[in-house]
Amino acid sequence: MLLALFIGIVTLVTTAGVVTRRFWLPAGINQHAAAFDSWLGIVIAILGIAFLGAQIALAWVIWRHRDRGQRAVYWDGSPKFEVFSIAIVTVLFLGASVGGARLWTGVHMSDQPAALRIEVLAKQFAWNFRYAGPDGRFGRTKLDLRNDATGNPFGIDDTDPVAADDVSNAALRVPAGQLIELRLNAQDVIHSFFVRELRLKQDAVPGMEIPLRFIAAKPGTYEIACAELCGLGHHQMRSVLIVLPPAEFTAWLAQSKNP
């Protein structure tokens, strides 16, 4: 009977952890995060009820039908019960899948024009970000020009006039409230771009250029973590997302321009 008690204890402690939210997602900084949190809340509420229901039912059955010398009933199934439970579970689970779909299409399938494009280059074990500058065009790059020591991680080719106003930086600065499109790429192994406050994560894969769009509404500094095992420095592959008021961002970009 200890088991029924133990099942009760772990169930209640787990539920208490969910309800008190001592360890939880950080506050979001955009509309997507708000939508994410409310959908997650609904899903967790439904799963929580299922969790409590199933665990308590298990504990209850163990208690209720413990061996007291009675004879067990001979009951080997009920097609009605099976059909009924299949129907309920199907509606619940497929509902979950469909309900969350809009959130996903909102991230990956919007066709709004982006206000700003930023190239992201991930490598063992650093992040680099490139801005096109006032001309809105990225200059030519060459693999053999890539060099951290000379401050040119992207390998920007200075002989290309378009490249003259390109800016590269180790932190990701963006203007608040504008639609940003990152173009993610990695030069060596797979990395993953993860900002908790944006509720966004996307792998950066060598040989691919993967778009990721977001609007960061709230100015501030947020940590960027690598979320795909990339080698011995994976745990220290950190950068920051700095969300600036648009005017400050423009000023920063202007003064960072390559001479």
Partner 1 sequence: MRTFLSRYLFSTDHKTIGIQYFVLSVLAGFVGLALSVVMRIHLSYPEAKIRLFEILWPNGAPGGVMTPELYLALLTMHGTIMAFFLLTTVPLGGFGNYFLPIQIGAHDMALPRLNMLSFWTTFLSFLVLLAAFFVEGGAPLSGWTAYPPLSAAGPIAGPGQGTGQTLWIVSIAIFCLASLFGSINFITTTLEMRVKGMSLFRMPLTVWAWFITALISLFAFAVLMAAGILLLLDREAGTSFFLPTGLLINDRALPNQGGTPLLWQHLFWFFGHPEVYIAVLPGMGIVSTILANFARKPVFGYKPMVWAMLAIAGLGFIVWGHHMFISGMNPYSSLAFSVLTLTIGVPSAIKTFNWLGTLWGGRIQLTTAMLFSLGFVSVFVTGGLTGIILGQPSLDIYFHDTYFVVGHFHMIMGVASVFAMFAATFYWFPRMFGRMLNEKLGRVHFYITFLGVYGIFIPMHFAGLAGNPRRYADFTQFEFLQDLTILHKFSSHCAFTTAAVQLLFLANLIYSYRRGPLAKDNPWNATTLEWLNKTPDAVHCGAYEYSVPGDTKDFRMQHEEAR
| Residue ranges in 89-128 that form contacts with partner 1 under rule CB under 8 A | 89-90, 93-94, 96-98, 100-105, 107-109, 123-124
* Residue 1 token pair: 């009977």
Residues 6+ apart with CB under 8 A from 114: 179, 180, 181, 213
- Contacting residue, 236, 251, 254, 257, with partner 1 by CB under 8 A: 236
Q: Does 245 bind partner 1 (CB under 8 A)?
A: no
3-state secondary structure of 172: strand
Identity of the residue, 5 or 251, whose beta carbon is nearer to partner 1 in the bound complex: 5
Q: Does 40 bind partner 1 (CB under 8 A)?
A: yes
Number of residues that bind partner 1 (CB under 8 A): 100
- Contacting residue, 29, 30, 36, 253, with partner 1 by CB under 8 A: 36
Residue pair 147/155 in contact (Cβ under 8 Å)? The answer is yes
Q: For residue 185, is it left (φ>0), alpha (ψ between -120 and 50) or beta?
A: beta
Beta-bridge partner residues of 186: 122
Identity of the residue, 78 or 250, whose beta carbon is nearer to partner 1 in the bound complex: 78
Q: Which stretch binds partner 1 (CB under 8 A): 79-87, 158-166, 173-181, 249-257?
A: 79-87
Residue pair 198/227 in contact (Cβ under 8 Å)? The answer is no
Single out the residue of 87, 88, 86, 100 nearest to residue 44, CA to CA: 100
Q: Does 210 bind partner 1 (CB under 8 A)?
A: yes
Single out the residue of 247, 114, 223, 243 nearest to residue 174, CA to CA: 243
Identity of the residue, 115 or 227, whose beta carbon is nearer to partner 1 in the bound complex: 227
Q: Which stretch binds partner 1 (CB under 8 A): 130-138, 159-167, 198-206, 249-257?
A: 198-206
Single out the residue of 72, 50, 48 nearest to residue 61, CA to CA: 72
Q: Shortest gap between Cβ of 188 and partner 1 (angstroms)?
A: 4
Looking at residues 138 to 197 of the shown chain, list those that interact with partner 1 (rule: CB under 8 A).
143-144, 146, 184, 187-190, 192, 194, 196
Q: Which stretch binds partner 1 (CB under 8 A): 6-14, 129-137, 165-173, 243-251?
A: 6-14
